[in-house]
């Protein structure tokens, strides 16, 4: 068996076309333009790339975009003031503070300062709580992207044994909560594994759907999965560089070996990654509709 490739690039493209039409309709019918503000503190190269990608995607889809670049020595007080201004700005429906922040800043306090109605990352405790009880305004971007990859690839989620490797607040915990909800595109039996799990392979071999966000290159090998498993690999690890200096990337799953046993699998890169910004745009559109009483 050679696995079907679940292409995040293709599915993200499909969703963006749907969003482009929805955004055009909101503008034409309601004079409503979804607005997204990004806040970047410092000059971290990777963060600059991510923010640039979000700006480019916003412009491509017709989302109003503001970028707020602050110096690395910005104080906690000044950063909170900037966020409060965006909270009050009616043109801005979504606020994203790019992480990580410089070490002198309190990340938790900054994220909590964002109006939950504008928290399109889904990190505010109000939105986390709404997710837990099954009534979210927004689903966190990467976990929502994973769910969409499964749904749009025709994977049977309801009743499936889902094993999540990793318990981060960004991926592991929220995707577990999303997939165990008694809802369409969910209703699975979910096991969460982590560094304290005694026999990881025992659990991963039971999985109909295996979601791996362990942060370790090729941590899941072929002997740890069963025939016909669907694998979503969230990991992105640099394992070397080419002669011309380009990064060589690998996921948390040994792709070449596992794809021979899997029914379907995401590549790295080109799997989960393209979905995250797309879900951010989806959340921004939803935030605009909620603010206008259209959702």
Distance CA 8, CA 86 (A): 31
Backbone angles phi, psi at 193, to 5 degrees: -110, 155
pLDDT band of residue 245 (cuts 50, 70, 90) is confident
User: Strands 237-241 and 247-250, how do they pair?
Assistant: antiparallel
Same domain (yes/no): 153, 88: no
Are 76 and 169 within one domain? no
Q: Is 88 found in the same domain as 149?
A: no
The count of domains in the chain is 2
For residues 102 and 149, state if they share a domain.
no
Are 34 and 77 in the same domain? yes
Residues 202-233: tens digit of each pLDDT: 999 999 999 999 999 999 999 999 999 999 99
Using a 10 angstrom Cβ sphere, with 0-12 exposed, 13-18 middle and 19 or more buried, the burial of residue 199 is: exposed
Residues 177 and 224 in one domain: yes
Mean pLDDT estimate for the chain: 96
Asked whether residue 154 is domain-assigned, the answer is yes
Q: Which residues constitute the domain of residue 265? A: 141-273
**CATH number for the domain that contains residue 71:** 3.40.50.10860
293 falls within a domain: no
pTM value? Answer: 0.95
> 204 and 262 in one domain?
yes
Going by their DSSP bridges, the two strands 264-265 and 4-5 should be labelled as parallel
pLDDT top residue among 65 and 240: 65
Indicate whether 169 and 269 sit together in one domain: yes
The residues carrying an active-site annotation are 54, 98, 121
Residue 44 lies in a domain: yes
113: tokens are 């300062």
Together in a domain, 207 and 242 = yes
Looking up residue 244, the CATH number of its domain turns out to be 3.40.50.720
Q: Which of 138, 127, 137, 205 is nearest to 165 (CA)?
A: 205
- For the segment 161-180, what is each residue's pLDDT rounded down to a tens digit? 999 999 999 999 999 999 99
Residue at 232 is within a domain: yes
166 and 94 both lie in a single domain: no
What are the phi and psi torsion angles at 92 (to 5°)? -105, 120
- Residue 182 resides in a domain: yes
Verify that 209 and 148 share a domain, yes or no. Answer: yes
Q: Categorize the per-residue pLDDT at 247 as very low, low, confident or very high, splitting at 50, 70 and 90.
A: confident
pLDDT of residue 1: 65
Instruction: Give residue-wise pLDDT tens across range 40-71.
Output: 999 888 889 889 999 999 999 999 999 999 99
Which pLDDT score is estimated for 45?
A: 87
Q: Does 177 lie in the same domain as 268?
A: yes
Q: Is residue 126 part of a domain?
A: no
Distance CA 99, CA 114 (A): 14
């Amino acid at each position: 068996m050679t696995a079907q490739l679940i292409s995040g690039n293709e599915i993200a493209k499909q969703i963006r076309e749907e969003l482009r039409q929805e955004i055009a309709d909101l503008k034409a019918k309601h004079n409503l333009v979804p607005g997204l503000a990004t806040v970047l503190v410092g000059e971290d190269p990777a963060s600059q790339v991510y923010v640039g990608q979000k700006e480019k995607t916003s412009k491509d889809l017709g989302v109003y975009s503001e970028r707020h670049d602050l110096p690395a020595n910005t104080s906690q007080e000044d950063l909170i003031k900037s966020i409060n201004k965006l909270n009050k700005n009616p043109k801005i429906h979504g606020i994203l503070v790019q992480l990580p922040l410089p070490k002198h800043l309190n990340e938790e306090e900054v994220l909590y300062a964002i109006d939950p109605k504008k928290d399109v990352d889904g990190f505010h405790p109000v939105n986390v709580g709404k997710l837990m009880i099954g009534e979210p305004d927004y689903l966190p971007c990467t976990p929502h992207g994973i769910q969409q990859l499964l749904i749009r690839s025709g994977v049977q989620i309801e009743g499936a044994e889902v094993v999540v490797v990793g318990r981060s607040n960004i991926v592991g915990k929220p995707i577990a909560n999303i997939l165990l909800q008694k809802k369409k595109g969910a209703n699975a039996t979910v096991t969460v594994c982590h560094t304290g799990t005694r026999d990881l392979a025992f659990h991963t071999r039971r999985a109909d759907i295996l979601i791996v966000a362990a942060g370790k290159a090729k941590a899941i090998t072929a002997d740890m999965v069963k025939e016909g498993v669907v694998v979503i690999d969230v990991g992105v690890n640099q394992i070397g560089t080419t002669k011309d200096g380009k990064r060589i990337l690998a996921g948390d799953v040994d792709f070449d070996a596992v794809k021979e046993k899997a029914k379907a699998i995401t590549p790295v890169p080109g799997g989960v990654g393209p979905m995250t910004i797309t879900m951010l745009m989806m959340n921004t559109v939803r935030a605009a509709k909620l603010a206008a009483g259209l959702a």
